[in-house]
Homo-oligomer: A and B are copies of this chain.
Amino acid sequence: MTVATAAVCHTRAVDEPSAPLAAPRTQASRRKATIDRLVDATIAAVIEVGYHRTSINEICRRAGVSHGGLFRHFATRIDLLVAAYEEVTRRQIEEFASQLHRSVVPEADPSTDPIRWAVQTLSDITSNPLNSVIHELHSAARTDPDLRARIAPALWAFLGRIRAITDDLPFADQFDRRRFRLTLEVCLHVFDSLHSLRFLEYDPAHDDEVIDFAVEIARAIRPPP
């Protein structure tokens, strides 16, 4: 055990005995921990109060970091919001791939229709609160050329990864490629738009109705002409 480790253990034992990793020990870990807290706080703030109310103050308050500390790691507010956007797309891709994977592993319920599973997964992903971060930044980017230029590459990468994942779906070869891709795009647009109106009224029954209808569309479109 190094001296530094011993010192940290001592401090923890006195101040907060059961707190996990109260103080990082190296500059690098201190830096990473602060950046992670700032990005997490930014994501939470955009979800809860929206893009234009996610101010430096709001982020610092949530992250427990001072103004000076924030600007040590991010030169501008937009830099931090772009980092949050990239982190959100990364998490969404991870969740999407992970959830889709569950339908093809041997333990999956064999009675599950893979098309329905995929549609349900698209609905789940777009109804994730993280998705509203993406929507908020897209909405802001429409009228902010700087922000638009910053998130465009991340958005293209995001769409590319979605396509790569969906093109590998086991039932893809039951469609012709054009119809398959368009069907998936339609589903994504429908759920994206449908769930962005949840602020008005959340009707799970209607969600299910739309999911059923999307499955019906996919089946009706499936046979090549």
Tell me if A140 is interfacial: C-beta within 8 Å of chain B.
Answer: yes
Report the bound CA distance from A210 to B190 in whole Å: 13
The residues of B that contact A214 with a CB separation of less than 8 Å are 186
Interface 1/0 per residue, A131-154 and B, CB below 8 Å: 010011011111110001000100
Counting CB contacts under 8 A, is A16 at the interface?
Answer: no
> Closest approach, in angstroms, between the C-beta of A146 and any C-beta of chain B?
13
Q: Is the CB of A141 within 8 A of B189?
A: no
| Of A52, A143, A209, A217, most B-chain CB atoms within 10 Å | A143
Chain B residues in 8 Å Cβ range of A125: none
| A residues contacting the other copy or chain, number (CB 8 A) | 42
B213 touches A138 (CB 8 A): no
| A135-B143 in contact given A186-B217, A217-B220 (Cβ < 8 Å) | no
Query: Nearest B residue to A48 by beta-carbon distance?
Result: B143
A residues bordering B, Cβ < 8 Å?
48-53, 132, 135-136, 138-144, 148, 152, 155-156, 179, 182, 185-186, 188-190, 192-194, 196-197, 199-200, 209-210, 213-214, 216-217, 220-221
